[in-house]
Amino acid sequence: MVETPLEVWNKAEGAFREFLDAQPMESSRGTPLQDDEPVWTPPTLVHYKVCCDAAFEKKTGRAAAAGVALDSTGAIIIGASECFHAASAASAEAQAMRLGISMALNPVTLTKLVHVCG
């Protein structure tokens, strides 16, 4: 089933809310997480999760975006990155979401995608 851009966006928004609602737990370093440290929730065994982010340098307008599709163990299935110029941090983040959505539409991930989180 091919999802519409609105359906993909709604899943991304849900993943973002999931990220914000994550409960603190022990980190991979074996130390307790601080309240402000993010917690990643893996997808189910039959799904993948696409995570993406951006970086922006205000002075020059240089920006970069990257994303990975992860399975339930956290193993990387596919990844992508790109450099570009942006007018703001928000536009760089939007470009990162675009990259994540394009990764979600990749035939490797298309049959198993659950979340696109930026």
pLDDT, one tens digit for every residue, the chain (118 residues): 566 767 777 777 777 667 656 645 544 455 555 666 567 788 888 888 888 999 999 999 999 999 888 888 888 888 888 999 999 999 999 999 999 888 888 777 666 655 555 5
Give domain 44-118's CATH number out of 3.20.10.10, 3.40.50.970, 3.30.420.10, 3.20.20.100.
3.30.420.10
* Whole-number pLDDT of residue 61: 94
pTM above 0.75, yes or no: no
* Whole-number pLDDT of residue 73: 86
* Whole-number pLDDT of residue 71: 86
Rg of the chain's alpha carbons, rounded to an integer?
A: 15
* Whole-number pLDDT of residue 10: 72
Give the Cα separation of 4 and 23 in Å (integer): 31
